[in-house]
Amino acid sequence: MKEEFDFFDRPRNKKILWIAYIGVLLALAVADFFIPKHSYFSWDGTPVFYALFGFVACVLLVVIAKNLRPLLKRREDYYD
């Protein structure tokens, strides 16, 4: 039986998509230096602030969830 490959399963397409993804991220980060901002706070108007804020928030959520797991974990037959 012949195995069918999807568009995203081909290594060449994966590489092209990763390069495009990183290119778009870099273009947005560079464009952020030239877009005028109307910020309320001094740190709010710095370039790539929201990208860094989102990354740090995501990492913190993962770390907090990992530390809460032993506290909230139940036995496998808890609901039986």
Structure confidence by residue, pLDDT tens digits, 39-67: 899 888 888 898 899 999 999 999 999 99
31/37 Cα distance (integer angstroms): 12
Asked if the structure places residue 63 within a domain, the reply is yes
Residue 79: which H helix or E strand, with range? Answer: none
The pLDDT of residue 2: 62
Residue 68 pLDDT > 90: yes
Residue ranges making up the domain that contains 63: 7-72
64/58 Cα distance (integer angstroms): 10
74/80 Cα distance (integer angstroms): 12
Residue 1 pLDDT > 60: no
Asked if the structure places residue 2 within a domain, the reply is no
Domain total of the chain: 1
The pLDDT of residue 7: 83
Instruction: Calculate the dihedral angle through the C-alpha atoms of 5, 11, 12, 14, rounding to the nearest 10 degrees.
Output: 100
Asked if the structure places residue 28 within a domain, the reply is yes
The pLDDT of residue 5: 73
